[in-house]
């Protein structure tokens, strides 16, 4: 699956996207964050305050307990502000 990073997450990760193949035990956004954090120190630092990180699966906003099965694309981004 493809993971996209936006705004300051993109800057902190020093990349806008990557392809990943999480293990079968990783079934939700939260578990994906846990897995990536355990295997990538830069990711762990960028996602240190995960409560403020928003996520989408295939262009649909989701909560962190959303299942990722069959997802083609997951995007992470900080809170959005209007203006």
Between the alpha carbon of residue 1 and those of residues 17, 49, 71, the distances in Å are 10, 23, 7
* Span 2-17, pLDDT tens digits: 999 999 999 998 999 9
pLDDT band at 79 (very low <50, low <70, confident <90, very high): confident
- Distance from the Cα of residue 77 to its chain's centroid: 8
The alpha carbons of the chain give a radius of gyration, in whole angstroms, of 12
* Span 51-69, pLDDT tens digits: 999 999 999 999 999 999 9
């Amino acid at each position: 699956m493809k993971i996209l990073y936006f705004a300051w997450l993109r800057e902190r990760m020093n990349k806008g996207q990557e392809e990943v193949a999480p293990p079968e035990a990783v079934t939700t956004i939260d578990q994906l964050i846990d897995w990536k954090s355990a295997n990538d120190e830069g990711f762990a630092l960028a996602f240190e305050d995960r409560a403020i990180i928003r996520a989408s699966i295939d262009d649909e906003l989701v909560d962190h307990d959303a299942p990722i099965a069959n997802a083609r694309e997951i995007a992470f981004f900080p809170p959005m502000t209007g203006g």
